[in-house]
Amino acid sequence: MSTITLVRHGQANTEARDEENYDKLSPLGHQQAEWLGAHMRHSGQSFERVYTGTLRRHVETAASMGDVARVQPIRDARLNELEFFALASAAEAQHGLAMPQNREDFVTHFPQLLALWQEDRLQEPPEPFAAFETRVRDVVDEIAQGRGSALVVTSGGLIAMVLRQVMGMDITNTAITCLSIMNSSVHRLHRLGPHMGMMQFNVVPHLDQPDRHFAQTHL
């Protein structure tokens, strides 16, 4: 049976206001990934397969984690994040939903944004909600059918969609779950018969010691 370990990328460029500028790790993001890789090696974790999206922050996170597998990562665009800035810009232009300026704004903004997207109320989005949902389901199913443990370095929105599909969550809970996912956090799925079960969610053992609490970031 295949176990899939999902890792959210390290902290990216939090000052960015578009996809291109957001897509790189901050110095703290690299440090989070280095600590995670060291923790996995110290605790004897290893993976027979490694996957990342094609986004820079995914590739950089996997590289900073170091040698947790003896194979090169497979880059798969189906593991890429939803295009938040493009969706948010469309929601602002078409529905007056103001772009969030801080974490508190995100808590009210993101559920509304995902609802508009799911209901096809955003004209010409970069990707339809149904297409995002389908590609996430397809790539996770494909990875689950492979042999041996798999490490997947991806983004919070994709991890939240996986949880939505595994746990049957509505769109509001999907959005809130996404906002709770920490940078460099670990999530684990395991096949139980014909289904995938969530065995671990949002753990950061590499950031648990007191002198690393400052590195427990969400944005």
Question: What pLDDT, in 10s, does the model give residues 192-206?
Answer: 777 888 999 999 999
How far, in Å, CA of 69 to CA of 37, rounded? 10
Per the domain annotation, does 37 fall within a domain? yes
Of 1-5, 141-145, 183-187, the least confident: 1-5
Q: Enumerate residues 6+ apart whose C-beta is below 8 A from 98.
A: 92, 105, 109
Query: Does any domain span residue 66?
Result: yes
**Which run of H or E residues covers position 132?**
helix 129-144
Q: Edge-to-edge, what's the strand order for the sheet holding 74-75?
A: 74-75, 49-52, 150-154, 3-8, 186-192, 195-203
Residues 63-80 pLDDT 10s: 999 998 878 999 999 999
Backbone angles phi, psi at 149, to 5 degrees: -70, 145
User: Is residue 213 situated within a structural domain?
Assistant: no
pTM (2 d.p.): 0.95
- Provide the pLDDT for residue 1: 55
Q: Report, as an integer, the average pLDDT of 7-31.
A: 92
pLDDT, residue 101, reads 84
**Residue 218 falls within a domain, yes or no?**
no
Q: Is the pLDDT of residue 16 over 90?
A: no
Structural domain that includes position 32: 3-207
Please report whether residue 216 resides in a domain.
no
CATH number at residue 113: 3.40.50.1240
190, 3 in Cβ contact below 8 A? yes
Pairwise CA distance, residues 163 & 50, whole Å: 20
Q: Is the pLDDT of residue 117 over 70?
A: yes
The DSSP element (H or E) to which 3 belongs, if any, is: strand 3-8
Strand partners, 200: 188
State the total domains in the chain.
1
In a domain, 217, yes or no: no
Residue 162 lies in a domain: yes
Query: Is 212 a domain residue?
Result: no
